[in-house]
């Protein structure tokens, strides 16, 4: 299926966000995650995080110092160890990095630009990595190299498959071990198997050691075998909250050197060299890749209040792109949340103030602030992330199959025109179009937006959910197979938990959103050119308005569409009975 060009000349500036403790103290609070971050705008673009290069470096520098291993810590290993960077592009809380350093006297960090990352998606042949995620990855690599150089090593960047590159390096440098982080999905597991086999083939005894490090709760600390993971998220959450401790993050020494002498460390490639046509962010949010940017991001304080916001920079944490590339770890976020004390720099005399009309004493504020709804809900969401990662081990490849983990049988359309109207934000439904345009323009979409467009594609259009999931795989900056396919199977009603089968009524959502976020319409101006859709059902009970009448989606759904030309004139009309919805 051809993928068309995705630029979106949209112009409306988004709201600014500001929250200040400045009346309490002139100094910013110590924790990097809690720095004031009124979104700075450049033209119509919000930079995320809202810090310039210098500010980011300063925040990161302080954070690295706070999380450093004391300089008295010594390594006791010998020889060369290779550190294979994968989706863990960070220095802080990187256990594989620590283990590689401590087990050797010389450390060689390597990143392989695997050509398979730039091929196409499995069923529908969309680009596997879209231009915005590709650019984000390159920024992550440049930032990682900078941070490693500051610690006396470097990052060797090679183009090719890890199973070819790593054994050849192991041989050339006589490495005793290749360390890396463990993944859970089949494509990544296959690479691990191939690397392991190829290292064995070298014949100098190099071992592959893979370490668990991507979740907040460690897999080995779960109160059950991961294959017995509860089918209900709530059960999982209650169980880990009651019975598990979150490990503290791994401290990394300030100096990691020496590193072997290497003739050519390799450049961070341009997108053109990877065969990707670059795409500029023309409006909305522009995420900056890399660990320094990740630790400079802060919106925890307003999280709960804005959790279900949509479109723009001013709600939810936006940690996901950095979490997906491993630029920050969930354990690091956890520690920052737990250690935050916003008043640590405030003189005693000023420790009494008004908040929401109430006069509060500092101690009470600290108590309420530290354990408030916002901080708890961030951890609650991170447990979702853990859950989907563990679920990918339990469910295996069924997560990618049409019937999902429960092997649900159904008829699904793969109508190209319908799909393209969804993909290009030309359905005529502003709430769908706005979200899809935000996705293709910025690489991001809110959680509620994702739920709504997923529900629309599956329940209202009756399309094969994998088309949507693969399009997300192409576009999302925060794409990760566990969270993406886990959420899509839930949204499509084929997930492991039959109760997670939620329908989002578009008229209801539109009505509500219009009231709270009128600027969302600026992403989806009235449609000229493209496709307009309407829903109706065999038995008409009111729900959707179509041709001036209300129709229901709780019976067998039909979809009517009209293709308009650029003057808004009708070119073609069609109707389609979508699959019987799970709610029929």
Ligand X SMILES: Cc1cc2nc3c(=O)[nH]c(=O)nc-3n(C[C@H](O)[C@H](O)[C@H](O)COP(=O)(O)OP(=O)(O)OC[C@H]3O[C@@H](n4cnc5c(N)ncnc54)[C@H](O)[C@@H]3O)c2cc1C
Burial of 261: CB neighbours in 10 Å, binned 0-12, 13-18, 19+: exposed
319 touches ligand X (CB under 6 A): yes
Minimal distance in Å, beta carbon 299 to ligand X?
7
**Binding residue for ligand X, selected from 103, 317, 392, 537, defined by CB under 6 A:** 317
- For residue 63, what are the CA distances in angstroms to 90, 94, 233, 321? 13, 14, 33, 19
Which 7-66 residues touch ligand X, going by CB under 6 A? Answer: none
CB 331 within 8 A of CB 339: no
Number of residues that bind ligand X (CB under 6 A): 29
564 touches ligand X (CB under 6 A): no
Which 358-397 residues touch ligand X, going by CB under 6 A? Answer: 378, 381-382, 384-385, 388
Minimal distance in Å, beta carbon 461 to ligand X?
14
480 touches ligand X (CB under 6 A): yes
**Binding residue for ligand X, selected from 311, 323, 346, 533, defined by CB under 6 A:** 323
The 90-109 contact track toward ligand X, x by CB under 6 A, reads --------------------
Q: Which residues face 108 on adjacent strands?
A: 82
Token digits for 261? 């002498």
Q: Which residues of 95-117 are buried (b: 16+ CB within 10 A; e: fewer)?
A: bbbbbbbbbbebbbbbbbbbeee
Nearer to ligand X, 446 or 578 (CB): 446
Minimal distance in Å, beta carbon 132 to ligand X?
14
Q: What is the DSSP letter of 33?
A: G
Minimal distance in Å, beta carbon 444 to ligand X?
7
Nearer to ligand X, 173 or 315 (CB): 315
E strand or H helix at 97, and its extent? helix 95-102
Token digits for 546? 């179509």
Minimal distance in Å, beta carbon 220 to ligand X?
21
Minimal distance in Å, beta carbon 467 to ligand X?
12
Token digits for 199? 């290292």
Which 395-454 residues touch ligand X, going by CB under 6 A? Answer: 446-447, 450-451, 454
Q: Which residues face 561 on adjacent strands?
A: 533, 574
Q: Which residues of 435-468 are buried (b: 16+ CB within 10 A; e: fewer)?
A: bbbbbbbbbbbbbbbbbbbbbbbbbbbbbbbbbb
CB 371 within 8 A of CB 301: no
By CB under 6 A, which span of 72-80, 194-202, 236-244, 480-488 interacts with ligand X?
Answer: 480-488
Minimal distance in Å, beta carbon 490 to ligand X?
7
By CB under 6 A, which span of 56-64, 396-404, 484-492, 528-536 interacts with ligand X?
Answer: 484-492
Cα–Cα distance measured from residue 324 to residue 294, given in angstroms and rounded to the nearest whole number: 11
316 touches ligand X (CB under 6 A): yes
In 32-162, DSSP assigns E strands to 41-42, 45-48, 68-69, 80-85, 106-113, 156-159
Q: Which residues face 546 on adjacent strands?
A: 549
Nearer to ligand X, 138 or 454 (CB): 454
329 touches ligand X (CB under 6 A): no
Q: Which residues face 210 on adjacent strands?
A: 180
Which 458-477 residues touch ligand X, going by CB under 6 A? Answer: 472, 476
By CB under 6 A, which span of 16-24, 57-65, 166-174, 313-321 interacts with ligand X?
Answer: 313-321
CB 312 within 8 A of CB 15: yes
Minimal distance in Å, beta carbon 481 to ligand X?
8
Minimal distance in Å, beta carbon 136 to ligand X?
13
Minimal distance in Å, beta carbon 47 to ligand X?
16
Which 282-311 residues touch ligand X, going by CB under 6 A? Answer: 307
Supply φ then ψ for residue 254, to 5 degrees.
-65, -35
Burial of 84: CB neighbours in 10 Å, binned 0-12, 13-18, 19+: buried
By CB under 6 A, which span of 148-156, 176-184, 219-227, 478-486 interacts with ligand X?
Answer: 478-486
491 touches ligand X (CB under 6 A): yes
Q: Which residues face 191 on adjacent strands?
A: none
Residues found near ligand X in the complex (CB under 6 A): 307, 316-320, 323-324, 378, 381-382, 384-385, 388, 446-447, 450-451, 454, 472, 476, 478-480, 483-484, 487-488, 491
């Amino acid at each position: 299926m051809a993928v068309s060009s995705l630029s979106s000349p949209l112009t409306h500036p988004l709201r600014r966000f500001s929250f200040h403790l400045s009346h309490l103290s002139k100094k910013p609070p110590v924790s990097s995650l809690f720095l004031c971050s009124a979104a700075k705008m450049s033209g119509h673009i919000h930079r995320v995080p809202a810090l310039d290069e210098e500010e980011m470096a300063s925040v990161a520098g302080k954070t690295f110092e706070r999380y450093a291993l004391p300089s008295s810590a010594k390594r006791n290993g010998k020889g060369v160890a290779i550190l294979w960077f994968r989706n863990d592009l960070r220095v802080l809380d990187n256990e594989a990095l620590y283990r590689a350093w401590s087990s050797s006297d010389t450390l060689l960090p390597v990143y392989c630009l695997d050509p398979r990352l730039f091929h196409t998606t499995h069923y529908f042949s969309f680009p596997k990595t879209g231009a915005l995620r590709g650019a984000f990855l390159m920024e992550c690599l440049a930032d990682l190299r900078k941070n490693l150089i500051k610690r006396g090593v470097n990052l060797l960047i090679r183009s090719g498959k890890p199973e070819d590159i790593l054994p050849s390096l192991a041989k050339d440098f006589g490495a005793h071990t290749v360390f890396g982080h463990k993944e859970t999905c089949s494509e990544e597991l296959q690479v691990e198997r191939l690397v392991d086999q190829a290292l064995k083939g070298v014949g100098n005894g190099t071992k592959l050691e893979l370490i668990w490090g991507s979740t907040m709760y460690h897999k080995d600390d779960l109160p059950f075998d991961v294959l017995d993971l509860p089918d209900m998220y709530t059960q999982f959450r209650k169980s880990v909250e009651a019975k598990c401790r979150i490990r503290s993050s791994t401290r990394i020494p300030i100096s990691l050197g020496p590193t072997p002498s290497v003739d050519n460390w390799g450049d961070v490639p341009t997108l053109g060299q990877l065969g990707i046509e670059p795409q500029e962010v023309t409006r909305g949010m522009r995420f900056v890749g890399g660990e320094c940017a990740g630790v400079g991001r802060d919106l925890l304080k307003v999280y709960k209040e804005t959790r279900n916001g949509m479109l723009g920079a001013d709600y939810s944490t936006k940690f996901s792109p950095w979490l997906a590339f491993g630029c920050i770890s969930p354990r690091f976020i956890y520690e920052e949340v737990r250690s935050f004390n916003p008043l640590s720099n405030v003189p005693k005399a000023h420790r009494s103030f008004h908040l929401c009309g109430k006069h509060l004493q500092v101690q009470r504020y600290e108590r309420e602030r530290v354990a408030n709804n916002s901080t708890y809900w961030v951890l609650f969401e991170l447990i979702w992330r853990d859950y989907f990662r563990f679920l990918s081990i339990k469910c295996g490849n069924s997560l990618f199959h049409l019937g999902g983990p429960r092997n649900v049988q159904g008829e699904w359309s793969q109508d190209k025109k319908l799909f393209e109207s969804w993909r290009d934000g030309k359905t005529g439904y502003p709430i769908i179009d706005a979200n899809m345009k935000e996705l293709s323009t910025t690489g991001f979409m809110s959680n509620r937006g994702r739920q709504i467009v997923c529900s629309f594609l599956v329940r209202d259009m009756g399309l094969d959910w994998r088309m949507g999931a693969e399009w997300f795989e192409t576009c999302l900056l925060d794409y990760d197979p566990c969270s993406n396919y886990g959420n899509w199977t839930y949204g499509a009603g084929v997930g492991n938990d039959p109760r997670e089968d939620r329908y989002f009524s578009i008229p209801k959502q539109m009505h509500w959103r219009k009231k709270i976020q009128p600027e969302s319409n600026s992403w989806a101006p009235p449609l000229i050119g493209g496709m307009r859709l309407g829903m109706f059902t065999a038995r008409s009970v009111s729900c959707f308005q179509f041709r001036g009448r209300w129709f229901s989606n709780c019976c067998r759904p039909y979809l009517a569409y009209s293709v308009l030309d650029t003057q808004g004139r009708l070119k073609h009309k069609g109707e389609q009975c979508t699959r019987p919805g799970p709610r029929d």
